[in-house]
Amino acid sequence: MTDAGPFHDPGRVAALAARIERLAGLLPRPATLMEVCGTHTHAIGEAGLRRLLPTNVRLVAGPGCPVCVTPVDYLDHAIALAMRPDVTIGTFGDLVRVPASRRDSLERASARGADVRIVYSPRDALALARALPQRTVVFLAVGFETTMPTIAAALTEAEATGVANFRVLCGAKLLEPPLRALVADPELRVDGFLLPGHVSVILGADFYRFLTADCGVAAVIAGFAPVEIQQGIAELLEQLVARRPRVANLYPRAVSAGGNRTAQALLARWFVPVDTRWRGLGSIPASGLALRPEFAHRDAAQLAVSLPEPLEPKGCRCGDVLRGSISPPGCPLFARGCNPDHPIGACMVSSEGTCAAWYRHERPVRAADA
Give the binding site for other proteins (CB under 8 A): 2, 6-7, 12, 15-16, 18-19, 22, 92, 120-124, 146-147, 149-150, 153, 156-157, 198, 201-202, 227, 231, 250, 252-255, 260, 262-263, 266
Smallest distance, Å, CB 199 to other proteins?
Answer: 10
Smallest distance, Å, CB 252 to other proteins?
Answer: 4
Residues 6+ positions from 162 with CB-CB distance below 8 Å: none
Amino acid making up residue 325: S
**DSSP structure class, residue 205:** G
3 phi, psi to nearest 5 deg = -90, 15
Closer CB to other proteins, residue 265 or residue 286?
Answer: 265
Please give the Cα distance from 173 to 142 (Å, whole number). Answer: 7
Closer CB to other proteins, residue 203 or residue 338?
Answer: 203
Nearest to 224 by CA among 99, 24, 40: 40
Smallest distance, Å, CB 162 to other proteins?
Answer: 17
Please give the Cα distance from 232 to 261 (Å, whole number). Answer: 25
Smallest distance, Å, CB 198 to other proteins?
Answer: 6
Smallest distance, Å, CB 368 to other proteins?
Answer: 33
196 and 222 Cβ atoms separated by less than 8 Å? no
Smallest distance, Å, CB 9 to other proteins?
Answer: 9
Closer CB to other proteins, residue 218 or residue 263?
Answer: 263
Closer CB to other proteins, residue 70 or residue 231?
Answer: 231
Closer CB to other proteins, residue 88 or residue 146?
Answer: 146
Please give the Cα distance from 8 to 33 (Å, whole number). Answer: 22
Please give the Cα distance from 133 to 336 (Å, whole number). Answer: 46
Please give the Cα distance from 368 to 201 (Å, whole number). Answer: 37
Closer CB to other proteins, residue 5 or residue 332?
Answer: 5
